[in-house]
A and B are shown apart, each in its own frame.
Chain A
Amino acid sequence: MLTLAFERADGLERVGFLCGVARAIAGTAGDFGDAGDSGGEALLARLAPWLEREFEQTREAALKSLRAERRPLVMRFDREHPGPFAE
């Protein structure tokens, strides 16, 4: 589970959300590691291009979740919904 945030360069807006990636699609433990920065960075490298394409939708959903439900949006990627981890 990663904690991510979109933040404008001028600092005027920031919105955080959670992103969970199932190990089955994230690769073997050896590829990304069980923990530590290198594993997180590798996942982020896969996520970043996808998040750029889905930026507006993700931003709106995350803002809505924080404002209305008062909890961070949780995005989950697994075998059924692989998102950027689809092969």
Chain B
Amino acid sequence: MANPTITVGNGNATEVIQTSGDKANANVTPRRHLLDLDDLSTKEITDLLDSAAGMLEITNRDVRKTPALRGKTIITMFFENSTRTRVSFEQAGKILGADVINVTASASSVSKGESLLNTVKTLQAMQIDALVVRHPHSGAPYFISNHTDASVVNAGDGTHAHPTQSLLDLFTVRTHVGDIAGKKIAIVGDVLYSRVARSDILAFQKMGAEVTVSCPNTLLPDEWQLGTTLDASTGFGGLKLARNVDDAVEGADVVMALRIQQERQDAGHLPSLREYSDRWGINAKRMALANDGALLMHPGPMNEGVEISSDVAHGAQSVVEEQVRNGVAVRMAVLYTLCAPGKSSRLSGGDEA
């Protein structure tokens, strides 16, 4: 059973990091994977955020190294380009003392035609502790979790989920506003293709916030109707679909702009990025509709001048860089929670199907 706390030494100072979840409760199965946030209880989420607060303190130290995950091997396996998320996980693992190996699709056997299954089995044979996966196909981390004893962390799968992004978004908002419950969150952008949108909607709703989205109707699922509120059967019950961006932003405590990609224009979802910027771009005028002191967020990378204007992106209300900083702490909390000493599924044999 996992030790619920860990003592981390740093020079003369010794402090205790509260770890997340199951406080030595032997009846609770330790969480093995983080695939999405929908199967996390609010308590699990809160515990992870609390743990991240401790981790953030470590990241601010002069000597940022702990032995918490010494002897653990974490592989980041990215089948899609990413800078910030991959580096964030790598840094999180290294600060915790784990050995982190980065595999990218172009460098791996995947480009030689090896199947995902065989790639995973090969890594499995090397007895790794955690596999951080980004994949262009929705559900790929679920598939992988069925074929490895390692803990699987979803670092973004297709258009499905990006749970650590949502945790860092929750963490960032909580830092500024305290209790998330009852707060109004406006998410503006490519809802149809955005895994951040899906995970953030789930995450903020789970924590009691009221979430509204706004985007061109071409970037909403067909069964979602502008101007309505979704019912529970959709899995996103209570989500408001604003008729226009001003309706969404008005009175919001948090405004989140999502990245819009050129390929949406190419595929006919948009007349042009120019028109998108005009009708859905977040700028000072639109931010003025939000509550005083509303936060402006963006999961990055930003297309400044398209979905977000440069002045607000770097303005007083922007917490974009803070999101990135918090990302490391949140991922430390996640990796520690899944791979803490004594939790190795590698030793217990896991439950591979």
- Do A and B interact? no
Residues of B within 8 A of A (CB): none
